[in-house]
Amino acid sequence: MIKIAHESPKAIFDSVQKLTNYDYALVHLFEEDQEYLQLFKDAIKKGREVILDNSIFELEEAFDADRFTHWINELRPTWYIVPDALEDAKKTMNQMANWNLKYADQVYGKKIGVVQGKSYSEIVACYEYMNKMADVDMIAISFDYSYYTQSVPHPNKYVSWMLGRVKLLGDMLRDGVINENKPHHLLGVGIPQEGLFYRQYTWIYSMDTSNPVVHGIKGIEYSEVGLWSKESQKLFEMINQPIDDIDLNLVKYNINKFSWFWNGHNTSIKVSNG
């Protein structure tokens, strides 16, 4: 089973938490929102698994490393994602080297290294660095590399992203690049039915996305085959969405449907804290 987390507005955090396997925190929100931070501190106290993200998707550059270190030690998450650089393999590897030299011994939690690159060779080089030299506990692969639209061209970029990541992982597995003994994390998703391709990959440990929550809030219901487009709204921009503006039943429906795409079953009862 692939562990799933869905970022959500604070008003429905508890409801979404009951239908997910772990929690996924965006560090930049800690700087401005004590209530948001407390939700994750409470999750840790309850024994929930938590991944702390460096917010690169939201900020388009990784969170400041010194401040990130502070928040790792403040929260004490299960996992944290080392600051990376979007599609820049060399800079990402350099930042990991710097992290290991300066910060790794100062923080609590297990380390996740993100693979970056603009071509197959760059992505593989970055992966092999994370796997063999960076001493990471988990390796993460993103959902929207520009490489995907090159490797699987399609008029619908969300199809390219979906099939591109499927092809990338398949190619890396074929070429002996994937370390099946190390856990992997999938960062985000374009369209929910992508999970249908991964049920046989036992080395995929976890994934995160706000997809079913954002679409539920927008009044968009998953169909039997998922979606063929994606709302561009980022969840952190909706973090203070009032409960009266959210159709919680639709959000829950999408979450259950998402779970079926990824793990072959609905999650209509509370999942164990794992």
Crossing angle of helices 120-132/157-174, nearest 10°? 50
CATH code for the part of the protein at 3-263: 3.20.20.105
**Lookup: tokens for 181:** 């003994």
Please tell me the distance from the alpha carbon of residue 24 to that of residue 6, in angstroms, as a whole number: 7
Residue spans of beta strands (DSSP E) within the chain: 3-5, 23-26, 50-53, 79-81, 110-114, 138-142, 184-187, 204-208
Q: What is the DSSP string of 17-74?
A: HTTSSSEEEEHHHHTT-HHHHHHHHHHHHTT--EEEE--HHHHSSPPPHHHHHHHHHH
Max Cα distance, the chain (Å): 51
pLDDT at 159: 98
Instruction: Return the H-helix or E-strand segment holding 213.
Output: helix 211-217
Give me the tens of pLDDT residue by residue for the chain, a chain 274 residues long.
Answer: 999 999 999 999 999 999 999 999 999 999 999 999 999 999 999 999 999 999 988 888 888 999 999 999 999 999 999 999 999 999 999 999 999 999 999 999 999 999 999 999 999 999 999 999 999 999 999 999 999 999 999 999 999 999 999 999 999 999 999 999 999 999 999 999 999 999 999 999 999 999 999 999 999 999 999 999 999 888 888 999 999 999 999 999 999 999 999 999 876 434 333 3
Instruction: Enter the pTM of the model.
Output: 0.95
Q: Is the dihedral of CA 182, 48, 140, 262 positive or negative?
A: positive
Is residue 181 within 8 A of residue 135, CB to CB? The reply is no
Short-list 205, 143, 209, 197, CA closest to 180: 205
Instruction: Return the H-helix or E-strand segment holding 14.
Output: helix 13-17
